Every structure is written in structure tokens, then in C-alpha cells.
């Protein structure tokens, strides 16, 4: 985690975010000064990662209530933010929490209460992710005690501090292990078409954690050749039965891990578990623009952002943003309360 490059912070009655659509080539901060700006930041993936999406939505509601804290304004803000991204359950969790906190509050003090609750959600995420790191550290320490040096960890997408308010989820145990002096190496898949693995590589480079970027389709080969000791991924929604939705391509890694008897863990805060969703088939899967498949984004030889079309506009393309890994392929869910078998999540429902 980097304190010098926060993902989300309040500045008076505005909110400052790190524009993740510019990473890893350019660090650019944006000022969100309205409900609409917050909704756009979530929808266009200027902020991304389920925990950070939820926190941004909470601050978006606070922005919306600055000048009008009526019940109608509260309902309008909730409806606007709720429809931005369908899969990340933290979005809905955060908005539900904001509504529960703000509805009983008099209009005259509702604006201040909104800022306070948003700050509490952000601070809670930092604490939850730190706890995930410590719980996951035990897993990695046990593997290294078996003589696996360096410990070879694979991840998919970006579930580091960029995707949260601090520490990360899937990367939190890796950061904790590195800080504890464990000898670790991370296999980082590109995660096309959004190339969010590049953000993981950017993070790990800043933290001094050894890592290697790979094409998504190289994961199975690495596992088959004994070069992976465990896999840790994040999640955007976990169903009550332990099925987990994460960035598309996660399911394939879980299948390969199962075939080669490699432990596969999902790291996510309690707020990512959706107890109203009975199984993975009920998780809504966001389908994004086909242009994300047809067009690559990168950096030009002169150092500026550049795009390259690899398929004609008339080329049909399917772009699901997530897939679902069945609970039977998951060894454990690392959350802020400990490590749970996927079938034992019911005990967390009221925590």
C-alpha cells in the first residue's frame, strides 16, 4: 500500500480519486464534485475493485446531499449510483448502509452525517483489508515452512490497494508476507481485455515484491510444470453458498488449479458476501462494450497513451466482465474475520 498515492480521499466538499484508466502509464488525480461525477467514475472504471466502488458510491451520496438533503434527493442519489455497475455487491452494500444511516437523520444534519458515514465505510475497508492480510499470511507462512522457496503465488486481475481503500484483498497477504520477510514471487496475468494485471504489476513494482507478468493463457502451463504453489484472487460478489464472481478468466485458473492439486483461495471482505444471493447462477454478470475487445490501450513510443484497433467494428465480440468460480473449486475464503470453507459462510451473515 502507498500512502503517497491514495485511491480516494476527501478534500473539503469534494472527493479526489486516482484515475485508474490512466494507469500504469500515468498517475492522474481527478476531483469529483457532484453525484454525476461520482457515478461516471464508477461506470467508466476510473475507480474499480468492489471495495473501492462501494466507498466511492458512499462519497458520491455525500456529494449529492451537499445542497439538498431531502428524502427525494437521497432517493435520486441512491438510484443513480445503484445502476452504475451490476456485479460488484459492495456497491449495493455501501448504498444500503448509507440509506440505513441517513433516513432517520433530520434534513438539517443529514449532509454532515453522510460525510461521516462515508468516512466510516472507507476506514472500515482499510481495517478489513489489513485483517485479510494477516489471516492470509498464515497460509503463505505454512506453505513456505514446507520448503517452498521462493513461494510461487499466482493472482488474476488487480485486487491490491488500487482496488480498495488500502492494503488490498488478494494482494494483502502477499504484502504482509513480503513485510514479514518471506521469500515470495508473484505470477501476474494480464487480465485482458482491461489489462488490470498491469496494475498489479505496477503495485508490486512499487512495493519491491518480485513478480512476473504472463499472458492469461500461460497460467495452465505454469501450473502443469509445478511452478505455482497457490493462487489467491479477489471477488466482486460471493454467493451464500461460496460461489465467487471475479474478473473473467478466474474460473479457468480455478479449473487448472483443481486439476493440479494447487490450493485456490478467494480473498474479500465480509461486505462482498451476498447472503441474499443463494448461488453463483443468480449473480448478475456485467457485459461491457465490445470495443474493449476490438481495441487495445497502451503507450506509444513517445510515452503518451495510445490505442490500437485489432478488430474491425463489424467484428462481433462478446465481453463478459466476470465469471463465477464454483465453491467446490475454492479451498477457502479469506475475509476479515478469518479463513472459511466456502460452505461455512452462514456464520458470517450477522457479523
Buried b (16+ CB within 10 A) or exposed e, 122-138: bebbbebbbbbbbbbbe
Helix (H, G, I), strand (E, B) or coil at 233: strand
Helix axes 71-82, 89-102, angle to 10 degrees: 170
Task: Tell me how crowded residue 44 is: count the other CB atoms within 10 A of its CB.
Answer: 13
Please give the Cα distance from 167 to 1 (Å, whole number).
Answer: 5
End-to-end CA distance of the chain: 26
Phi, psi of 244 (to 5 degrees): -130, 130
CB burial class (10 A; 0-12, 13-18, 19+) of residue 56? Answer: buried
Q: Annotated catalytic, 236? A: yes
Closest by Cα among 60, 69, 144, 126 to 102: 69
Among residues 50, 11, 115, 118, the alpha carbon closest in space to that of 273 is found at 50
Closest CA to 35 of 54, 55, 61, 53: 61
Other C-beta atoms within 10 Å of 312: how many?
7
Catalytic pick among 236, 243, 274, 336: 236
Question: Which cell is 281 given?
Answer: 447462477
Rg of the chain taking only CA atoms, in angstroms: 20
Nearest C-alpha neighbor of 243 from the set 157, 342, 346: 342
Give catalytic residue positions: 236
Amino acid at each position: 500500500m502507498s500512502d503517497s498515492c491514495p485511491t480516494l480521499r476527501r478534500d473539503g466538499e469534494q472527493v479526489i480519486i486516482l484515475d485508474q484508466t490512466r494507469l500504469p502509464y500515468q498517475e492522474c488525480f481527478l476531483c469529483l464534485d457532484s453525484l454525476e461525477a461520482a457515478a461516471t467514475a464508477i461506470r467508466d472504471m476510473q475507480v474499480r475493485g468492489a471495495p473501492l466502488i462501494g466507498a466511492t458510491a458512499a462519497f458520491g451520496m455525500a456529494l449529492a446531499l451537499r445542497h439538498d438533503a431531502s428524502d427525494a434527493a437521497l432517493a435520486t442519489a441512491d438510484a443513480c449510483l445503484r445502476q452504475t455497475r451490476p456485479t460488484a455487491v459492495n456497491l449495493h452494500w455501501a448504498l444500503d448502509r448509507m440509506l440505513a444511516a441517513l433516513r432517520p437523520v433530520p434534513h438539517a444534519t443529514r449532509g454532515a452525517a453522510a460525510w461521516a458515514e462515508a468516512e466510516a465505510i472507507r476506514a472500515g475497508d482499510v481495517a478489513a483489508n489489513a485483517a485479510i492480510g494477516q489471516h492470509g499470511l498464515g497460509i503463505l507462512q505454512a506453505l513456505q515452512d514446507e520448503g517452498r522457496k521462493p513461494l510461487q503465488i499466482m493472482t488474476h486481475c488487480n485486487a491490491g490497494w488500487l482496488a480498495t481503500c488500502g492494503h488490498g484483498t488478494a494482494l494483502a497477504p502477499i504484502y504482509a508476507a513480503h513485510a514479514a520477510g518471506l521469500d515470495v514471487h508473484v505470477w501476474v496475468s494480464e487480465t485482458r481485455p482491461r489489462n488490470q494485471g498491469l496494475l498489479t504489476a505496477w503495485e508490486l513494482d512499487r512495493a519491491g515484491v518480485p513478480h512476473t507478468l504472463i499472458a492469461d493463457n500461460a497460467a495452465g502451463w505454469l501450473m502443469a510444470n509445478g511452478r505455482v504453489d497457490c493462487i489467491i484472487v479477489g471477488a466482486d460478489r460471493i454467493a451464500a453458498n461460496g460461489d465467487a464472481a471475479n474478473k473473467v478468466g478466474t474460473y479457468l485458473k480455478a479449473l487448472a488449479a483443481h486439476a493440479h492439486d494447487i490450493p485456490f483461495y478467494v480473498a474479500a471482505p465480509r461486505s462482498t458476501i451476498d447472503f441474499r444471493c443463494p448461488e453463483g447462477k443468480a449473480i448478475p454478470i456485467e457485459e461491457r462494450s465490445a470495443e474493449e475487445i476490438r481495441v487495445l490501450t497502451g503507450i506509444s513510443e513517445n510515452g503518451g497513451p495510445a490505442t490500437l484497433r485489432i478488430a474491425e467494428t463489424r467484428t462481433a465480440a462478446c465481453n463478459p466482465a466476470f465469471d463465477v468460480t464454483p465453491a467446490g473449486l475454492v479451498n477457502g475464503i479469506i475475509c476479515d474475520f478469518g479463513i472459511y470453507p466456502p460452505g461455512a459462510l452462514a456464520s458470517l451473515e450477522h457479523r
